[in-house]
Amino acid sequence: MEVIRRYYPGLSETQLAQFAALYDLYADWNTKINVISRKDIENLYVHHVLHSLSIEKMIRFKSGSQILDVGTGGGFPGIPLAIFFPGVQFHLIDSISKKIKVVQEVVNALGLKNVTMAQCRMEEEKQLYDFAVSRAVMPLPELVKLVRKNIKKEQQNALPNGLICLKGGELQHELLPFRNRVVSLNLKDYYKEAFFETKKIVYLPL
């Protein structure tokens, strides 16, 4: 939790309490439904919460924006972002019902009013959003094909509507089809933890 406080000193008391509550919630749920690898729960704040929050380095979502979290798993990046951006609406989807159950329970425990969730595949999602976000759920070309239909035409943010992904490792081949349009940031430029050495945020307007 200290790492969140250090990088984000301006958080409200409510936000700090919500972030602080995440560890016990995920540690407890993880014993019943494995949403984070057992050995990784100790690294929850760096590997999952801070990594999710890094999306704000690419964009500060305007209040009233609607964001789709594709393949949210146990709620990343959607839940940390929903705490960070309380005026923004997040819809979290995953095809695995037990993962959505964990999301539901964590959201209820935190009292988050700006999060909805559903068990569904991306192909079945019909609503329109300003942005889709995801954390390494599939290669970018496949994800673009799935989410394009769900991105609104009307703009309200500083960046044109589109897709924002958290990625790791060698991305050259994956980004090749979009090379003139894609923007990527190295997270090691913002966070000093070794985990971020090879991590990137990728943004593609759609």
Give the whole-angstrom CA distance, residue 159 versus residue 130.
Answer: 10
Q: Which two tokens stand for residue 18?
A: 């919500």
Supply the pLDDT for residue 136.
78
Domain ranges of the chain: 2-205
List C-alpha distances in Å: 130 to 22, 29, 185, 199: 27, 31, 20, 24
pLDDT exceeds 90 at position 103: yes
| 137 has pLDDT over 90 | no
Cβ atoms within 10 Å, residue 106: 23
Count other Cβ atoms within 10 Å, centred on residue 14: 12
Predicted confidence at residue 175, as pLDDT, reads: 92
pLDDT in tens, 61-75: 999 999 999 999 999
CATH of domain 2-205: 3.40.50.150
Which residues touch 137 (CB under 8 Å, ≥6 apart)? 70, 71, 143
- Does the structure show a pLDDT above 90 at 169? no
Cα separation, 79 vs 114, whole angstroms: 10
Given a cut of 90, whether residue 22 has pLDDT beyond it is yes
Summarised one tens digit per residue, pLDDT across range 27-70 is: 999 999 988 988 899 999 999 999 999 999 999 999 999 999 99
Please state the three-class secondary structure of 60-94 as a single string.
CCCCCCEEEEECCCCCCCHHHHHHHCCCCEEEEEE
Q: Among 35-49, 77-91, 190-204, where is mean pLDDT lowest?
A: 35-49
Calculate mean pLDDT across residues 127-140: 94
